[in-house]
Structure formats: C-alpha cells, structure tokens
Amino acid sequence: MSKLICQSCAMPMVSEVQFGTQLDGSLSQDYCTYCYQEGNFTDELSNLDDMIKICTVHMVSEGMNQEDAINILNNTLPNLKRWKVK
Ligand SMILES: [Zn+2]
C-alpha cells in the first residue's frame, strides 16, 4: 500500500483503524478516523490556523519542540486536499 497521510491533519495512515469512514461505512482513503467519520468531518474547523493550533498541541504533547511543530505544520497542511485554496 502506498503511504497515505490524512488530507486534513497530515497524520500518517498505515492501518485500517486509522482510516476515516464514509457514510456507507467504507474506509476513506483521504482522511483519518480522528478527522472524518461517516462522511463528515468530526470538527467544525473552517480555517487552517485553527487546525495548526490543535495539531501543534498534539505534537508538543508527543515530545516535539513547539517551533518545529509549527514549522512542519505550516509546510505540510496548506498542501493537503482539505486546506488547498480552491
Ligand atoms: Zn486527520
């Protein structure tokens, strides 16, 4: 399987339990289970800044330096499907 990352939060998705679900119960290839359930986003986030803040907290809690986390997220998230400027 090719390497997939969530197109909302950039989390690597390697096992099926990490995949979000579509309305019909099938797995989403685009979004992770934390972001996407039964065809809808689990959060009400409407902008990238809020997503970066939430992801930063998560990455810092896993031991990453805050500045590094913000840099990585700023470089990664804007390229994802959910946040790409239409
Ligand atoms: Zn996600």
* Residue 2: per-residue pLDDT: 63
* Residue 1: per-residue pLDDT: 46
CA of 5 to the centre of ligand 1 (A): 8
CA of 58 to the centre of ligand 1 (A): 12
CA of 18 to the centre of ligand 1 (A): 9
pTM of the model: 0.85
- Spacing of C-alpha 60 from chain mean position: 16
* Residue 3: per-residue pLDDT: 83
Contact by Cβ (8 Å): 69, 60: yes
Mean pLDDT per 10-residue run, the chain (86 residues)? Answer: 85 94 97 96 92 95 97 96 85
d(CA 83, CA 65): 24
CA of 64 to the centre of ligand 1 (A): 18
CA of 12 to the centre of ligand 1 (A): 9
CA of 19 to the centre of ligand 1 (A): 9
* Residue 86: per-residue pLDDT: 61
